[in-house]
């Protein structure tokens, strides 16, 4: 028997969150597995404000209770995010699982979170005290550790509208379908003619949080493709020397080799060969 509160507005939800000891519950696909006893839940799936996908000038704003199926059916969600979401589990999980839950679970294996990291998305947090907008990289403090106060809810994730077109994405699982990521990788590149204006490379499922090395990405920026090719080996060896990966179902060495291969493949596909 699952106990809890079923608010019908965000205001009502925030009042309950502030006054009671409750666990936010969106699709329940992670919480059902945890099967916590004696817990009171705050059900979020009927709150219209959390179920919208909207555009503003800069961002695609994805409500925390938007399901993966809803995202796949929306013309507002960029192809990179759709590709990552389409690889999540099976339709039944995608019908219930939400963007807020994927973030709120605090796992570095979360497939939509990898895309938020590579795209420098932001998370909008709300409480009766007001709202905060936090960079996704700051929101994750470590494995299962989030910058979320006990009276706050995740309201939206703000995914930049530009810079996501020229991408590379791979999810390596134990099998082709229904696999939780063993290693996942997303890369982005923005060119200005022959000059690299922006590059981002994010590794999922290999560390306490999604891994990015921004200082190494910046070493490519402002360079022509020819200049980037000339310093590629040096940058790759810096990645290799700094990549300290956790052991999962597979060894850290295996994960590191896969990460380096994916990074090289991304660079080669984008003309830095």
Ligand X SMILES: Cc1cc2nc3c(=O)[nH]c(=O)nc-3n(C[C@H](O)[C@H](O)[C@H](O)COP(=O)(O)OP(=O)(O)OC[C@H]3O[C@@H](n4cnc5c(N)ncnc54)[C@H](O)[C@@H]3O)c2cc1C
Residues of this chain that interact with ligand X (CB under 6 A) are: 23-31, 33, 44, 64, 88-89, 93, 96-98, 100-102, 104-105, 110-111, 153-154, 180
- Nearest CB to ligand X, comparing residues 31 and 186: 31
Could you tell me the smallest distance in angstroms from the CB atom of residue 223 to ligand X? 34
Could you tell me the smallest distance in angstroms from the CB atom of residue 97 to ligand X? 3
- Nearest CB to ligand X, comparing residues 62 and 201: 62
Q: Which residue is nearest to ligand X (CB)?
A: 101
Could you tell me the smallest distance in angstroms from the CB atom of residue 36 to ligand X? 10
- Nearest CB to ligand X, comparing residues 88 and 159: 88
Phi, psi of 123 (to 5 degrees): -115, 130
DSSP-derived secondary structure for the chain: --EEE--SSHHHHHHHHHHS--EEESS-TTHHHH--SS-EEEE-TT-GGGS-EEE-SSEEEEETT-BHHHHHT-TTS-HHHHHHHHTSS-HHHHHH-BHHHHHHTT-TT-HHHHHHHHTT-EEEEEETTEEEEEEHHHHEEETTEES--TT-EEEEEEEESSS-SSEEEEEE-SSSSS---SEEEEEEEEEETTEEEEEEEEEESSSSS-B--HHHHHTTTT-BHHHHHHHHHHHHHHHHHH------SS-HHHHHHHHHHHHHHHHHHTT--
Could you tell me the smallest distance in angstroms from the CB atom of residue 219 to ligand X? 30
- Nearest CB to ligand X, comparing residues 210 and 245: 210
Could you tell me the smallest distance in angstroms from the CB atom of residue 139 to ligand X? 11
- Nearest CB to ligand X, comparing residues 74 and 166: 74
Could you tell me the smallest distance in angstroms from the CB atom of residue 210 to ligand X? 11
Could you tell me the smallest distance in angstroms from the CB atom of residue 247 to ligand X? 20
Report, in angstroms and rounded to the nearest whole number, the Rg of the chain calculated over CA atoms. 19
Nearest Cα to 44, choosing from 3, 106, 100, 85? 100
- The whole-angstrom separation of Cα 40 and Cα 199 is 44
- Nearest CB to ligand X, comparing residues 104 and 217: 104
DSSP-derived secondary structure for 245-260: ----SS-HHHHHHHHH
- Nearest CB to ligand X, comparing residues 64 and 200: 64
Could you tell me the smallest distance in angstroms from the CB atom of residue 178 to ligand X? 7
- Nearest CB to ligand X, comparing residues 132 and 198: 132
């Amino acid at each position: 028997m699952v106990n809890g509160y079923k608010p019908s507005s965000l205001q009502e939800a925030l009042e309950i969150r502030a006054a009671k000891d409750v666990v936010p519950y969106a699709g329940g696909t992670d919480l059902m597995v945890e099967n916590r006893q004696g817990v009171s839940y705050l059900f979020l799936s009927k709150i219209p404000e959390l179920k919208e996908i909207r555009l503003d000038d800069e961002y695609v704003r994805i409500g925390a209770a938007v399901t993966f199926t809803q995202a796949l059916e929306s013309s507002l969600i960029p192809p990179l995010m759709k590709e990552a979401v389409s690889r999540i589990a099976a339709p039944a999980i995608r019908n219930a699982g939400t963007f807020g839950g994927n973030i709120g679970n605090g796992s570095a294996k979360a497939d939509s979170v990898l895309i938020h990291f590579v795209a420098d998305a932001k998370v909008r947090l709300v409480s009766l005290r007001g709202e905060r907008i936090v960079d996704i990289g700051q929101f994750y403090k470590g494995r299962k550790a989030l910058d979320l106060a006990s009276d706050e809810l995740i309201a939206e994730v703000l995914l930049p509208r530009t810079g996501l077109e020229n991408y590379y994405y791979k999810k390596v699982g134990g099998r082709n379908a229904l696999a939780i990521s063993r290693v996942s990788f997303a890369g982005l590149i923005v060119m200005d003619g022959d000059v690299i204006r922006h590059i981002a490379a994010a590794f999922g499922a290999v560390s306490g949080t999604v891994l990015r090395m921004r200082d190494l990405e910046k070493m490519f920026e402002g360079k022509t493709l020819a200049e980037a090719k000339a310093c590629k080996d040096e940058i790759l060896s810096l990645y290799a020397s700094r990549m300290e990966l956790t052991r999962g179902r597979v060894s850290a060495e295996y994960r590191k080799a896969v990460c380096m291969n994916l990074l090289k493949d991304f660079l080669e596909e984008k003309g830095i060969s």
